Each structure stands twice: as structure tokens, then as C-alpha cells.
Chain A
Amino acid sequence: MKIGVITFPGTLDDVDAARAARAVGAEAVSLWHADDDLRGVDAVVVPGGFSYGDYLRAGAIARFAPVMQSVVDAARGGMPVLGICNGFQILCEAGLLPGVMLRNVGLHFVCKDQWLRVENTETAWTTRFDTGADILIPVKNIDGRYTASAETVRELEAEGRVVFRYVDGNPNGSINDIAGICSANRRVVGLMPHPEHAIDALTGPSDDGLGVFYSVLDATRSLVTA
């Protein structure tokens, strides 16, 4: 089982995503932004950071990176893809997920331990959770306010594509307290909080984030056996 972790110039949480992949027994494979080769990985994580400095708009430039063309193609073919924070923004810019992230409601960067409710446990990245489970995961961003057209939000809600929702307070003003969503085929998930920073209570608020990475092991296994 190989999980690819993309590094763009300005990516910050790639070492963390790779550590989380290793923590569940997967092999972490480093993918370089300028290289369109996915190196035979079974799933891809687009990690957090400030790709290319995010001076234009978060994720706006990264979507044009050669590696992203390959990720978009692979995702359309069913490969599990996880976008965390800046990675979520990039997946939205790349058209794999709907919507966009605006500046936080308080206009500040916010770093805190945040409760999330797992609303959909049928995505490639959430099968190991119980539906309705509350998990404690760090959130840290300045452009984290998820928004989309009223129609898109209605559609996401109706199709059960809101995967994670903020509970006990909304840190950034996201519409409907949305913290993470998935694609129509449930293979692509994007979220603002950082499950890769919650894999060990020593260095994070909990180890609740491990469930995300364990889940994808099942998702790729089922793909192989199918």
C-alpha cells in the first residue's frame, strides 16, 4: 500500500502527512509538483501549507502543477485523494471538489484543537469511524471559511457529501459549519482541519486522525479485490 504525498514549493505539512501514512503501515511516497509521475501510488494526499506562497489565492497556482494533472486524472478513475487545508483549497481550485475558501470570519490565522463530527462514513477516508462520532483534530489556517453557492450547498447536504462538520464552535465562519466534503463518488475528500496532526496524543490533541489514514487502507484494498 503506497500513499503519495505531494510537495509543492511552500508545502509545509508534507512531513506530517508522510508520518501519518507510515503510522498506519503504509509506505509514504514523495511526489514532486513538477513531475507528473504518480510513482505507482494507491492513494494521494495533497497536504497543507502555502503552495507557491498563495499570494494570488490559496491553491490557485498549484492546480496547474504537472502533478495535479495526473492527480485529477487518477481521481476521476477512482483513486482516493485527500486534500488537507491548503490541499483542500487546491482540490477545489482543480475542480475535484466544489466550493471555495474565504478569509476566516475573525480575519486572523486561527490555530486550535477543534471538535468535528464525522457525518459520512462511506467515503474512502472515513470508513473506520462511527457515524456521528466526534473527533478532536487541530485546525490551523487563515483562509478556512468554506463557502459555495446555495444550490451547491443544498446538493452537498442532500447527497450526504458533508463529511466533517465543526461542533462546539465554528472556528472560521464556514457555511453550515462545514469542515470537510467529498466528491460524488466518495473517493475524493477535502477538509480544513489536520488529521495528520492528530496521530499521537504526545504531539497532538488526540490520535483521532489515524482513522482517516486507516480508512484509506480499506478503500484501496477493496479496489484491488473488486
Chain B
Amino acid sequence: MTEIDTVEKAATDPERPQPYAELGLKDDEYAHIREILGRRPTEAELAMYSVMWSEHCSYKSSKVHWKHWKANTTPEMQAKMLAGVGENAGVVDIGDGWAVSFKVESHNHPSYVEPYQGAATGVGGIVRDIIAMGARPLAVMDPLRFGAADHPDTKRVLPGVVAGIGGYGNCLGLPNIGGEVVFDPSYQGNPLVNAMCIGAMRTEDLHVAKASGVGNKVILFGARTGLDGIGGVSVLASETFSDDEDAASRKKLPSVQVGDPFTEKVLIECCMELFAQRLVVGIQDLGGAGLSCATSELASAGDGGMHVELDKVPLRAGGMTPAEILSSESQERMCAVVRPEDVEAFMAVCKKWDVLATEIGEVTDTGRLVITWHGETVVDVPPRTVAHEGPEYHRPIARPADQDELQADDPANLPRPSTPEELRETLLQLISSPNLASKEWVTSQYDRYVRGNTVLAQPSDGGMIRIDEETGRGVAASTDCNGRYVKLDPYVGTQLALAEAYRNVATTGATPLAVTNCLNFGSPEDPGVMWQFEQAVKGLAEGCRELGIPVTGGNVSFYNQTGSTAILPTPVVGVLGVIDDVRRRIPTGIGAEAGETLILLGETRDEFGGSEWAHVVHGHLGGRPPQVDLAREKLLAEILVAGSRDGLLSAAHDLSEGGLAQALVETVLIGQTGARIILDEDQDPFVQLFSESAGRVLVAVPRTEELRFTEMCTARGLPWRRTGVVDPESGELEIQDVATFPLEELRQAWEGTLPALFD
């Protein structure tokens, strides 16, 4: 039997060497732990501090920048938020007594190592965050980024990630309603797998993660705890178990967790029944850092103390040490705080769903988190020092020396197509390029129908689900980011990501309400990366203030780089909006009504910095990203929402990467209806077709409503231009004086690319 390190032993051999550096703790961090405890930490304590003080759990490099959220949240913005930054997930009031919880999280590194399980458990983790707020998870979306589409390793990573998201999400019964698939060589050794989940509850059912009520019981339920996902803490295991015959096999266990979606589905239903019967005082999911995180966070948010008998935790492997149990990231586990008189009823619900549930401890008023192992104390710490009072770094920040050079490299000097033939070829080349091509190969592997409330899903600009079947109240969501824009100007680029997500939500007819984010960056130890990060956070926070919608939470993923080369800075922005009746959603495809006029809202400028055209045709990245005008975006959104409310719009599609040409192609193909386009004689056709100016939406307006709609735009000061007509009979997209494309030709170009690469 292995000797277990206890608090008592820690007092007797204070100078025992400890592998803190291997666990990722710096000298001063280790010294600080000793100072907090007044002795050396036990192995179990060291394991807890090392995982909880990791970048992933403690946000130690990013925390100092969160002041920007606070500084830019006005009382009006705050008023809609029921839970914000720091909770498991943000919660907003959407009206009619409904609250909606939503959050994005990254699972980037595991998904590179093991694409299927990495992506699958990413979905599982974000879904449990939503449950932990008391909400029923209702939909997921996945913003994904991969290396070059034709790189051999992308063929390993992408199909695995997509199958993992589908395999887990489909089996959970959650519709997948949107997301992104982006390719760029900078993500080659570092794909980004972000996952967003949206859930809903009645406002009075909001739960927060806290252990209050002295004498209340702590119950661990769901899957057993195993050796998977232990990661860095295996250093402890190999030290401790150097003579153990298990040591060799133990080290071979994967550090990527393995998911079991069936267990998670049952866990969801079990939690919903526990909530409905009001059997839960506080609840926390077990994700990164497992029990270390759940116990320390519950205890620090509650009445100050908790006692856990760790030997009661049901295990799936023999001979696990307390340190391993505390840091295991086995999936599909939750931890609840339950009144003693409710324990029996709680257990009965778990039994009904065949969910394993074990009482492992209780809430105390000692102010300490005490964890025992067969009667001996292995952890005795102030819980806040583990969960919230970790290190905080002011990392050096420096604008990269080559930023000026990058911005000076203006794409205006690149050769442009000018003849009709060249423009025709350019359009076909762009729509079949991996970033602009149809993503159906990916999205057809996701169930978008389950639960029967999906009103809009990919390839629409935003996903939309019905929340209330009686009133039709629902929410729309979109996630966006163009890493090339952010690279060229992190402040403006992040505001462009916000603007696009905001616009996408408004394009569905919903009113944007709140923001979440997933900030994917390179190493925080690189001052250039930290400059990008700071600019991005400021850009987002100040942008949200201008739009009047709060940041409700988010996630930071650093160290996304291969060697010293960081990924394109990728602050993915998710916007949630509300619509009081989903029946007035605006679809993406044209042709729903006979006789529609196509109107382009917004202004088109000669803007090609970071554009898809420069990337695909010239392999060029330089110059400035498109201008961002948030006041204009706000006006545009108001017009779209008013148009939806008054039934003036039969279709709408946002213009983004690939410009008007891309929007036209998608609009006619999704609507399976031809159109005739007349460009402005006073502007270069190339600029009109391919510029990526922000703040633009293409709308289809029934003839009978055209005057009413355009008068509203004029009166409100929104530039608009009649761009063409829907032509159901033609079966082609005709761009007058440029080219005519049979829909079939467009379809083959747009839909053929991904199957050819990945089938």
C-alpha cells in the first residue's frame, strides 16, 4: 500500500522536495502556497493548487484586463443580466419570465491531440456549465478553425472533430444550430475547437454554484472518477508510484478525457428533475480541474467551509491517490449541495435515472476546505485561496515591431480583375475556396432538428430556437471572428467580430441582447500577443458599451501556438438576441414570395485589407481591416428588427467575407431561386462585388412593401440601394454587364469543395 501524504506528515517533514515545477508552478507561486498554509502543501493540496492556479483555471494572465468589462458596463446594461462574468455561464432576462444562459468555451489543445474525444468532451463540458445555472440546455453551436484545408493533417483533425461534435451532441439530443468553419495555415498545429451552448429556464429557477447552509450535504453524482484527463498531475503519480507495478500502465492513460454522451444525456434529465422538485441548494459541474475546482468553488461561494470524505468518491480505477482523485477530469460528473431532509428524495431521482450518486461531505462554518482520506486529513486550506486568490500577472505588453509594416502593406497595390471574364472567374474561384464554400459537409453531420424548436440553423446567418411554444418567444445567436482582421488591427478587428455577430443576430429579426466570448490567443509570455489581447479586450468592451449590450462572461485560451509562431489572434464573439415571436424570423433564402426586390443596405467602400479575395487570389495579408461604425450597425439592426416586426422583409443575408458576390450566391442557392442584379454604374464592379465593407445587409422586400421600407431607411438615415430583383423563372444569377451564372454551376462550385477534400 502506498503511503499517503497527510497534513500531519507535512508538518513533520517540512523540507521534503516537491515536484511543483513539473506541475507548472513557478518558484514564487510555490512559496506563496507555503506562506498561505504556514507549512509545505501535501501532495493533494499541491495537486489542487497547481491545477487551480494554471492559466486555464485561474486566468492569471488575463484577469487584470477584466476591468475593461466592468468599466464599460452601464447600469442599463447590467439590468438585463441575472448572472455575469465569474459564474459558470452568463444569464440574461429575455422577458415573459424566461432567462437564457449561454457561454462559449475552448477545447483547442485536446482536440489537436485526439480530435474526436477532444471535440466531444468540449461539447460535454459547455453543456454542464449551462445545467449548473439551472437551465435546460437547448442548442449548441461550434466555432471551428483548422489549418490549410488541403494540408494532410487537416484531413486527420477536421473529420475527427466534426465526428466528435456530432457523435456527442447528436446523442445528447441538442440541435446544432450554427457556428463557423474557418481555414488558415496559422491554425495548422493548433486548431481552435470552441463550443457554445444555450439553455433556458424560468427566472426563478436560476441556480448558482455555492455551498450554503451549514450541515447541508455535498453529493457527487454522474460518472465514476477515473484516471483520465489527469494531465500534469501524473507527475505526482509517477513520483509516488515509482516502485508500484501499476506505474508503467498508469502513465499510459490518456491525458485527453473520454466522453460518454449517453451518461451526460441521462445526467441532464436527472438534473432537470432534481431542479423541478427543488432538491438542489447549489450545484457545480466538474470540468477542468475536476473535484479540486468543484469543491473549492462551491465552498468559497458559500458559508465558508466544507468537509469532504474523499474515500467515498466512487472510482473506476484501483489504487488512485487523493491527488489523482482531486485532479481527475473524468467527464459527466456534477456536484450538488442538498438539504439533509432532501437527500432521500435526491437519491430517488438519481436512482430513477440510474445515475450513481454519493454523499461525499457536508457544508461547515470552519472557513476551511477540509478533505480527509480514510480519516486522515489530506487537505486543509482556505477555499478562496485555491479558487479565487490565485496569482495575477501583469504580463509585459508591446506592440509588435512589424505591426506598422503589416499595416503599410496595402492590398490596393494587388492586381485586380477588371474584364467581365476575369470577374466571372474570380467569383467562381472565391465561392469554391474552402473558407467561402458550403459547409454542408460539416453541418449535415449534426442533428439540427431534435427537440423541434429549431427555427433557423446553418447556413442562416444566425441560429434561432423557440423557447416558449405558447407565445413563440425565442432567441437567436451567432458567433463570429475574422482572425485576419484582428491581426491587422486587434482593436478594430475585434469590434468587427462583435459587429458581425450583432448584425447576424439582427438579420434574423431578433434584437441583440448580450455577448459572450472565447478569446483564443498565442502565448501570454509574448508581449506582442499580450498587446493583441489587451487591444481585443478593450475593443470588445468599448464596442459593447456603444451597442448597449453587456459581456456576460467568456473564456480565455492562451498558448495557441506552434513553436514561437502564434495563431491569428481569434477573439470569437458570440451575440445572443431575443425575438418575441419566432414566426416573424427573417429567412436567408430568397423566393418565398412572388416578386421581391433586392436592396443592399449600407455603404460599400474600397476595402480589401484582410479580405478573402486578397487571401485566396494573392495569398496576401496586409493593410487595414474594413472600417467599423457601431452607431451604423445599431441603426441597421433597428431597421432589420422593425422590418421583421412589420412584415416588410421576406429574406435577409449579412455581407461579410467574400462581400456582395458571396451573399448573392448564398441567397440564390439557399432560396433555389434566380435573381437579376444591376450594379451601380458609378463604382468599380470589382469593389462592389468583393469588398468586405462592414455594416451591410442584402434584403429581399416584397414589391408591395418596397416603398414603405425604403422610406423608413431614408427617414432614419440608412443608405440603401436597389440592387436587383428576384427572378424565379430564370434559374440563374445574372449580374448585368458582368456575367450570368446558371444556379447549377454555382451549386457545383460552392458545394463541391469540402466533399472533395474530406470524403
A residues sitting closer than 8 Å to B (CB atoms) are 9-10, 12-13, 15-16, 19, 49-50, 52-55, 106, 108-112, 138, 140, 142, 194, 196-197, 199, 202-204
As a 0/1 sequence over residues 350 to 374 of chain B, the CB contacts with chain A under 8 angstroms (1 = contact) are: 0001100000000000000000000
As a 0/1 sequence over residues 245 to 262 of chain B, the CB contacts with chain A under 8 angstroms (1 = contact) are: 000000000000000111
Q: A203-B452, A203-B454, A203-B455 are in contact. Are A12 and B265 (CB under 8 A)?
A: yes
Q: A13-B173, A106-B759, A109-B167 are in contact. Are A194 and B449 (CB under 8 A)?
A: yes
Q: Which residues of A contact B452 (CB under 8 A)?
A: 15-16, 19, 196-197, 199, 203-204
Q: A10-B171, A203-B466 are in contact. Are A111 and B262 (CB under 8 A)?
A: no
Does the CB pair A111–B466 fall under 8 Å?
no
Which residues, 441 to 455 on B, are CB-close (under 8 Å) to A? 443-455
Does the CB pair A50–B449 fall under 8 Å?
no
A22 to chain B, nearest CB (A): 10
- For A15, the closest partner residue in chain B by CB is B451
Which residues, 252 to 309 on B, are CB-close (under 8 Å) to A? 260-263, 265-266, 269
- For A198, the closest partner residue in chain B by CB is B449
B90 within 8 A of A: no
Q: A53-B171, A106-B759 are in contact. Are A111 and B449 (CB under 8 A)?
A: yes
Q: A109-B170, A203-B452 are in contact. Are A9 and B445 (CB under 8 A)?
A: no
- For B450, the closest partner residue in chain A by CB is A12
B582 within 8 A of A: yes
The residue from A10, A142, A197 contacting B262, defined by CB atoms under 8 A apart: A10
B192 within 8 A of A: no
A200 to chain B, nearest CB (A): 8
B721 within 8 A of A: no
- For B263, the closest partner residue in chain A by CB is A53
- 11 further interface pairs, Cβ-Cβ under 8 Å (given A10-B262, A50-B265, A203-B453): A19-B469, A53-B263, A106-B759, A108-B444, A109-B167, A110-B445, A111-B444, A111-B449, A140-B170, A140-B449, A202-B455
Q: Which residues of B contact A194 (CB under 8 A)?
A: 449
As a 0/1 sequence over residues 327 to 356 of chain B, the CB contacts with chain A under 8 angstroms (1 = contact) are: 000000000000000000000000001100
Q: Which residues of A contact B269 (CB under 8 A)?
A: 9
The residue from A13, A109, A138 contacting B445, defined by CB atoms under 8 A apart: A109
B181 within 8 A of A: no
B473 to chain A, nearest CB (A): 13
Which residues, 570 to 587 on B, are CB-close (under 8 Å) to A? 582-583
A-B contact pairs, 26 of them (CB 8 A): A12-B171, A12-B451, A15-B451, A16-B451, A19-B452, A19-B469, A49-B173, A50-B170, A50-B171, A50-B261, A52-B262, A53-B260, A53-B263, A54-B262, A109-B170, A111-B448, A140-B450, A194-B449, A197-B450, A197-B452, A202-B455, A202-B466, A203-B449, A203-B453, A203-B455, A204-B452
Q: Which residues of B contact A15 (CB under 8 A)?
A: 451-452
B163 within 8 A of A: yes
Q: Which residues of A contact B450 (CB under 8 A)?
A: 12-13, 16, 140, 197
A46–B334 alpha-carbon span in the complex (Å): 30
Lowest 3 CB-CB distances: which A-B pairs, in order? A53-B262, A12-B173, A16-B452
Q: Which residues of B contact A110 (CB under 8 A)?
A: 444-445
Q: Which residues of B contact A10 (CB under 8 A)?
A: 171, 262, 265-266
B108 to chain A, nearest CB (A): 23
Q: Which residues of B contact A203 (CB under 8 A)?
A: 449, 452-455, 466
As a 0/1 sequence over residues 171 to 190 of chain B, the CB contacts with chain A under 8 angstroms (1 = contact) are: 11100000000000000000
A204–B262 alpha-carbon span in the complex (Å): 26
- For B452, the closest partner residue in chain A by CB is A16
Does the CB pair A108–B449 fall under 8 Å?
no
B residues sitting closer than 8 Å to A (CB atoms) are 163, 166-167, 170-173, 260-263, 265-266, 269, 353-354, 443-455, 466, 469, 582-583, 759
Q: A53-B260, A111-B444 are in contact. Are A204 and B173 (CB under 8 A)?
A: no
Q: Which residues of A contact B759 (CB under 8 A)?
A: 106
Q: Which residues of B contact A53 (CB under 8 A)?
A: 171, 260-263
- For A49, the closest partner residue in chain B by CB is B173
Q: Which residues of B contact A50 (CB under 8 A)?
A: 170-171, 261-262, 265
A199–B449 alpha-carbon span in the complex (Å): 12
Q: Which residues of A contact B443 (CB under 8 A)?
A: 111
- For B171, the closest partner residue in chain A by CB is A50
The residue from B163, B266, B469 contacting A108, defined by CB atoms under 8 A apart: B163
A28 to chain B, nearest CB (A): 13
- For A108, the closest partner residue in chain B by CB is B445
A199–B354 alpha-carbon span in the complex (Å): 33
Q: Which residues of A contact B466 (CB under 8 A)?
A: 202-203
A119–B60 alpha-carbon span in the complex (Å): 64
A130–B255 alpha-carbon span in the complex (Å): 57
Q: Which residues of A contact B447 (CB under 8 A)?
A: 109, 111, 140
A55–B261 alpha-carbon span in the complex (Å): 11
A13–B454 alpha-carbon span in the complex (Å): 13
B216 to chain A, nearest CB (A): 28
A21–B469 alpha-carbon span in the complex (Å): 15
Q: Which residues of A contact B260 (CB under 8 A)?
A: 53
Q: A110-B444, A202-B582 are in contact. Are A138 and B449 (CB under 8 A)?
A: yes
A108–B170 alpha-carbon span in the complex (Å): 12
The residue from A12, A55, A109, A112 contacting B166, defined by CB atoms under 8 A apart: A109
Q: Which residues of A contact B448 (CB under 8 A)?
A: 111
Does the CB pair B455–A197 fall under 8 Å?
no
A55–B759 alpha-carbon span in the complex (Å): 25
A194–B353 alpha-carbon span in the complex (Å): 26
B171 to chain A, nearest CB (A): 5
B614 to chain A, nearest CB (A): 34
A120 to chain B, nearest CB (A): 25
Does the CB pair B266–A9 fall under 8 Å?
yes
A13–B445 alpha-carbon span in the complex (Å): 17
A222–B452 alpha-carbon span in the complex (Å): 30
- For A17, the closest partner residue in chain B by CB is B452
- For A196, the closest partner residue in chain B by CB is B452
- For B466, the closest partner residue in chain A by CB is A203
The residue from A49, A54, A55, A197 contacting B449, defined by CB atoms under 8 A apart: A197
A49–B446 alpha-carbon span in the complex (Å): 13
A19–B449 alpha-carbon span in the complex (Å): 13
A18–B136 alpha-carbon span in the complex (Å): 18
A15–B582 alpha-carbon span in the complex (Å): 19
Does the CB pair B444–A112 fall under 8 Å?
yes
Does the CB pair B451–A9 fall under 8 Å?
no
A126–B51 alpha-carbon span in the complex (Å): 59
Q: Which residues of B contact A19 (CB under 8 A)?
A: 452, 469
- For B454, the closest partner residue in chain A by CB is A203
A173–B741 alpha-carbon span in the complex (Å): 33
Q: Which residues of A contact B167 (CB under 8 A)?
A: 109
Q: Which residues of A contact B353 (CB under 8 A)?
A: 9
B59 to chain A, nearest CB (A): 35
A197–B354 alpha-carbon span in the complex (Å): 29
A151–B123 alpha-carbon span in the complex (Å): 44
A142–B162 alpha-carbon span in the complex (Å): 14
The residue from B166, B172, B262, B453 contacting A9, defined by CB atoms under 8 A apart: B262
Which of A12, A55, A106, A199 has the most B CB atoms < 10 Å from its CB?
Answer: A12
- For A200, the closest partner residue in chain B by CB is B452
A154 to chain B, nearest CB (A): 33
Q: Which residues of B contact A142 (CB under 8 A)?
A: 170
Q: Which residues of B contact A52 (CB under 8 A)?
A: 262
A49–B171 alpha-carbon span in the complex (Å): 7
Which of B444, B454, B469 has the most A CB atoms < 10 Å from its CB?
Answer: B444
A52–B263 alpha-carbon span in the complex (Å): 9
